[in-house]
Structure 1
Amino acid sequence: MHKNNRIIGQSAASRCFYLPTAPKLDASWCAQGSDAVEQLIKANGNHWRKIMTIMAKLSVWNTDWKTYRDLQLLKQNESIAIEAIKLNAHSQLHFVCGQQSAQRLQLNLEEFKPLIGTEALIRKHINQPIYLCPYLDYRQFPNRYIDTVRQSVGLPLLS
């Protein structure tokens, strides 16, 4: 993690996920390591496996999210911004995860419209590629919502 700006992964990644809390990471941990995601999950448990899985499902261009999660996630195209107070200027796609993250970013919620099929739990900015999402947990962000978001960003459905 970059100590100064609390970014996990590549600060210039095309997709940024905004989360309220950081995982525990060993000082030697590096996102570029061949087993970086495996180490992150091992140090933080099943909760972070779920987070990494949903991130992979929202990121992979094909449908092989398991391989993407284990080998490519956070290495180039994704970053996680912890407790961010502004959007990552380098990213072209933003996933603001959870109410705490949205509040910290001080987004104008009137500029977001619900994605159809998500019971208004996922909202997209009317002019920008910013998604307000529930926290990355299967109970709040099930596969049907993941497919709705994937479709919205131009990715094929997983199911």
Structure 2
Amino acid sequence: MSGTGFGDVNARFRVYLAAPPAMEAYQQLSGMQPLQAGDIDQIYRHCGNGWRKIFNVYAKLLFALPPTHFDFAPSASSWQQFRDLQLLQAGSGTALCFSAPQFDKEDVLHLIAGRTLAKHLITQGLEADLHWLSSEFAVDPTRKLLVTPFFDYRQLNNEKISVSAKLLQLLAEQVSEIERFLVGSSPVGSTG
């Protein structure tokens, strides 16, 4: 089962949000619905700048991942082009889910956007062993799960996108020493 949301039914990278855009067409989603070219533009035209930020941060994060481990954006010349031509479409390997993570496939990376949502999912029965690296970032290496700030420029700025990309790389490599990375760097989320 792939959950409910937008994107590739076989996505290897899944981001989780609490709810879909407030558009009638998306209120009764069942399963994974691949977006088509132009759908992202239509969503933020109807639902506001908040959704533009979500899609932009998602594309920027994927574009920041090292191509040696991730092949999400190799054919795009910019994160904007990736967002407009590939993000959340069939065959993209990406999904934006509005249901709880399902850890039934080992090769899938999961990212919960926002500490509040992560804590809510835990209280609703999500089985995850989150290790909080700071007040904003948590990992469950066994389930390849990362919790980041919400996908908004103020909460997940360029510096935090870089930290997120590094943590995702470590999760993908199954490195159990994620804290070792953080010991040598400034505290995660210490700057705005």
TM category (shorter chain) comes to 0.7 to 0.9
Judge conservation of contact 1:56–1:68 (CA < 8 Å) in 2.
yes
1:129 is displaced (CA, Å) by 1.7
Q: What percent of counterpart residues are identical?
A: 26
Is 1:134 aligned to 2:149, yes or no? yes
1:111 is displaced (CA, Å) by 3.4
1:88 is displaced (CA, Å) by 5.7
**Partner residue in 1 for 2:131:** 112
**Unaligned segments of structure 1, at least 5 residues:** none
Write the distance in 2 (CA, Å) between the matches of 1:151 and 1:86.
21
> Which structure has the greater CA radius of gyration?
2
Is 1:66 aligned to 2:85, yes or no? no
**Unaligned segments of structure 2, at least 5 residues:** 27-32, 64-72, 171-192
Write the distance in 2 (CA, Å) between the matches of 1:71 and 1:131.
26
Partner amino acid, structure 2, of 1:65: W
1:109 is displaced (CA, Å) by 6.9
For 2:113, which of 94, 97, 102 is the aligned residue? 97
For 1:46, which of 36, 49, 60 is the aligned residue? 49
**Partner residue in 2 for 1:24:** 22
Partner amino acid, structure 1, of 2:37: S
- Output one character per residue of 1:54-97: Cα deviation in whole Å (capped at 9) or x when no partner: 11112234672111111111012211111x23436356111111
Partner amino acid, structure 2, of 1:53: N
Q: What SS does the corresponding residue of 1:87 show, helix, strand or coil? A: coil
- Alpha-carbon RMSD across the aligned residues, in angstroms, is 2.7
Name the CA shift for 1:108/1:6 in 2 (closer, same or farther; >3 Å): closer
TM-score normalized with structure 1 length: 0.76
Aligned length: 145
Moved over 3 A (4+): 25-28, 88-91, 107-111
Q: What SS does the corresponding residue of 1:132 show, helix, strand or coil? A: strand
